[in-house]
Amino acid sequence: MLACVATRENDMKHAYLILAVLSATLATGCASQPAKTEIPEKAPPVSKPAPAKESARKETTKKEAARKEAPMEGEVVGKPSPGSKFAQLKIGMTLSQVEKLIGPPAKQSTHPTGKASIPFYFGPDRWVIHYAYRHEGVLTFNSGGDQVLTRIEVNRAE
């Protein structure tokens, strides 16, 4: 019985040793192959990078331009009365734009969507933010990237 246990331990040691040698051989074989790169005869001139403030400003304007060009999905439930706070809003506005335009809400709530539990999902609709305004209604924002207005629900009884 003892000889059987000793043989198993030796076999396991040999198996781990063989596995380690094969792994090392594979790793060195992959690392020893040089990568082929082609160098063009004439390299294009290198331009100077823009200062950080200007490039950040350009990126922001590009995002805003893309947001204006692409139609945003969303819905408006009810019809806001002319001259009301909600009449000034448009689907696709960010949370900060809405707060600057009509002010802070009376009530605010946040809850996760079903996509929040998907591993490695980083899309824009993992969380939902609700802003409730008295005598106006409720605004819904998707959270997880830019906090974008996706639903305007007019409810004057709110």
Which sequence spans correspond to the domains of the chain? 74-154
- Cβ proximity of 40 and 114 under 8 Å: no
The tokens for 95 are 């949370």
pLDDT at 83: 87
CATH of 74-154, one of 3.30.1450, 3.90.550, 3.50.50, 3.90.1200: 3.30.1450
If 0-12 CB within 10 Å is exposed, 13-18 middle and 19+ buried, where does residue 76 land?
A: middle
Query: 125 and 119 in contact (C-beta within 8 Å)?
Result: no
Question: What's the pLDDT score for residue 99?
Answer: 92
Residue entry with tokens 């990126």: 59
Predicted confidence pLDDT, tens digits, the chain (158 residues): 545 545 666 677 777 778 777 777 766 665 555 555 555 555 555 555 555 555 555 665 655 555 555 566 788 888 888 888 889 999 989 999 999 999 999 999 998 888 888 888 877 778 899 999 998 899 998 876 778 898 999 987 76
CA dihedral 63, 64, 69, 70 (to 10 degrees): 60
DSSP code, position 45: P
Burial class (CB in 10 A: 0-12, 13-18, 19+), 29: exposed
The 3-state DSSP class for residue 103 equals coil
Q: Report d(CA 46, CA 43) in Å as an integer.
A: 8
Cα dihedral: 41, 44, 48, 49 (round 10):
-100
